[in-house]
Amino acid sequence: MRSTFWLVVIVAAGLTQNLWAWGLIGHRVIGEIATRQLSLVSIQNIRNIIGKESLAQIANFPDEMKISETYSSTAPWHYVNVMEGKKYQEGPISDKGDLLQAIKAQSLILKDKKATPEKKRQALTFLVHFVGDLHQPLHNGYGADSGGNAIKFKLGGVETNFHAFWDNEVIDRQKLSASEYANFLMNLDDKEYGQWKKSTVLQWHEESRALLSSMYGQKSSIDAGDIGKYLRFSRPIVDRQLLLAGIRLAALLDDIFSEKELKDRFNY
Ligand SMILES: [Zn+2]
């Protein structure tokens, strides 16, 4: 039953490539980094929920779900739009849900001892994916241009857009597998990890938002046709965001699978 469902959504997904946030590799990198940082208690809990599958393997399902009719209501959970110059708390909050609401709701399901195994499996899948999306700055973008989707340009003769560029271009050009990419990023000094883990989910969103002005500001090099210059600017940002997402996903999962309360993570 389930395999038939995934076959249908995977076929459908192939038709709409530009809907893949962070690309397939990016989300797997985040799952891989998180797995290397988890507590033993979390590892055991995750095994109970998804068996032999890994976080990297389940990380992309939500992008496949959102384009299937049954789960189309989950599409707004992948992003949060806030007007330029405004803050999330100033509202209005979408009644269809948004990325911040979804991370909170799925975390609570995962922590709920009474939730069914199927609910927990789905919640874990969503969470692995959504913490990734939260670290793609354009998933925290300005509604006016649909998080950069409305800004079209050509790359190597093929039409693309600003959002898709940030989702895929930098990562795909590295030609690394997810585990190679995770190794590559984790070679950095790990002393900051403890600090990164402490912050709140709203801070993760605000950090992503803070990157937007330079991402848009430097866009003039794309407009001038100098994609190479823009890639050199964007690569360190993408790499850091992927690493942050992986480390923080592990921190959030460790909170969920410990006795800790989640209210400190979710001050919204
Ligand atoms: Zn997504």
Q: How far is the CA of 20 from the centre of ligand 1 (A)?
A: 6
**Cβ neighbours for 123, distance < 8 A, ≥ 6 positions apart:** 106, 107, 109, 110, 115
- Structural domain that includes position 131: 2-256
| CATH number, residue 68 | 1.10.575.10
> Would 82 be classed as within a structural domain?
yes
> Would 46 be classed as within a structural domain?
yes
Check residue 146 and give left, alpha or beta (phi > 0: left; psi -120 to 50: alpha).
left
> Would 71 be classed as within a structural domain?
yes
Which of 54, 38, 24 lies closest to 181 in space, CA to CA? Answer: 24
> Would 183 be classed as within a structural domain?
yes
Q: How far is the CA of 62 from the centre of ligand 1 (A)?
A: 6
> Would 267 be classed as within a structural domain?
no
pLDDT at 19 over 80: no
pTM > 0.85: yes or no: yes
Q: How far is the CA of 134 from the centre of ligand 1 (A)?
A: 9
- Mean pLDDT is lowest, of 114-123, 185-194, 196-205, for 185-194
What protein residues have CB closer than 5 angstroms to ion ligand 1?
21, 63, 78, 133
Q: How far is the CA of 24 from the centre of ligand 1 (A)?
A: 10
| pLDDT of 191 | 72
> Would 133 be classed as within a structural domain?
yes
> Would 266 be classed as within a structural domain?
no
| pLDDT of 188 | 72
> Would 268 be classed as within a structural domain?
no
- The domain total for the chain is 1
